[in-house]
Chains A and B, each alone.
Chain A
Amino acid sequence: MTATLASPVESAAPRRTAARTAARLLGALAGALAIFCVLLLAKGADPVTALGDMVASVFTAESLEQIVIKATPLILAAMAVVVPARAGLTNVGGEGQVVIGAVAGAGVGLAVPGPAALPLTLLAGAVGGALWAGVAAALRLVVGVNEAVTTLLLNYVALDVMLYLIYEPWKDPHGSGQPASRPLDLAARLPLLSGTAIHMGIVVALVAAVAVWLVLRGTSFGFRVSVVGGNPEAARRAGLPVARLILLAMLLGGALAGLAGAVHLAGVEFKLRPGLTTNIGYIAFLAAWLARHRPLPTVGAALLLAAVTVAGDSLQLDSGLPAATVNILMGLVLLAVLGWSRRARR
Chain B
Amino acid sequence: MLVVDILTGGVRGGTAIMFAALGETLAERAGVVNLGTEGCMLVGALGGYAVAAETGNPWLGLLAGALAGAALGLVHAVAVVWRRADQFATGLTLMFLGLGLTSLFGAAYVGKAAPGFDPVPLPLLGDIPIAGEILFRHDPVTYLTFVVAPLLWFTLNRTKAGLLVRAAGERADVLHVHGHSADLVRTAAVTAGAALAGLGGAQLSTAYAHAWFEGMTAGRGFIAVALVIFAAWRPLWVMAGSYLFGAALAVAPALQARGHALNQFALDALPFVITLVFLAVLGRRTLRAAPEELRRVFAR
Binding site for B on A (CB under 8 A): 1-2, 39, 42-43, 88, 90, 92, 135, 139, 142-146, 148-150, 152-157, 160-161, 163-164, 167-168, 232, 282, 285-286, 289, 321-322, 324-332, 334-335, 338-340, 344-346
Contacts and interface: CB of A to CB of B under 8 A. Distances in A.
A39 B100 CA distance: 11
B41 to A, nearest CB: 14
B101 interface: yes
Nearest to B273: A157
Contacts of B272: 153-154, 156-157, 160
Task: List 4 A-B pairs, minimum CB-CB distance, nearest first.
Answer: A327-B100, A328-B100, A324-B103, A160-B269
Nearest to A168: B263
B190 interface: no
Given A148-B35, A149-B222, A286 B93 contact: yes
B266 A149 contact: no
Consensus secondary structure, chain B interface: helix
Contacts of B82: 344
Contacts of B89: 90, 285, 289, 334, 338
Contacts of A1: 86, 300
A322 B279 contact: no
Given A149-B226, A338-B89, A154 B100 contact: no
Contacts of A329: 100
Contacts, number: 161
Contacts of B269: 156-157, 160-161, 164
A285 B96 CA distance: 11
A257 to B, nearest CB: 15
Interface string B76-91: 0011101111101110
B219 interface: yes
Interface string B216-237: 0011001101100100000000
Contacts of A282: 92, 95-96
B88 A324 contact: no
Given A322-B104, A335-B75, 10 more contacts: A92-B35, A92-B92, A143-B284, A144-B283, A145-B287, A154-B276, A160-B268, A164-B265, A168-B263, A282-B95
